[in-house]
Amino acid sequence: MSERHSCTCHDITVDEFRSACAGGAHNVKTCFKTLGCLPQCNKCIPLIRSVLNEFSGQAPQNTVVDTPPHTA
């Protein structure tokens, strides 16, 4: 799967997923709904979650985030 076409089943680019997120899509289902389709093979789901995380300001799942030590 290339960066250019992140969903080969529907020929959707990563920029189209980003536009869906910018337009208010907040999860994988609403991302696809905004683009007028449903996921098929699910190979693009991790990439879509990564794009969603870009817009939510969260670290991607399964990523360790360094946090400062808690001081009392």
pLDDT digits (tens, 9 = 90+) for 29-56: 999 999 999 999 999 999 999 999 988 8
Q: Which amino acid is at 18?
A: R
48 is a domain residue: yes
b/e 26-63 (16+ beta carbons within 10 angstroms → b): eebeebbebbeeebeeeebeeebbebbeeeeeeeeeee
Mean pLDDT along residues 49-64: 71
pTM for the whole thing?
A: 0.70
- Count of structural domains, the chain: 1
Residue 62 lies inside a defined structural domain of this protein: no
Domain that holds residue 50: 14-56
> Which pLDDT score is estimated for 6?
82
Task: Give the C-alpha distances (Å, rounded to integers) separating 47 from 17, 38, 51, 58, 64.
Answer: 9, 15, 6, 14, 18
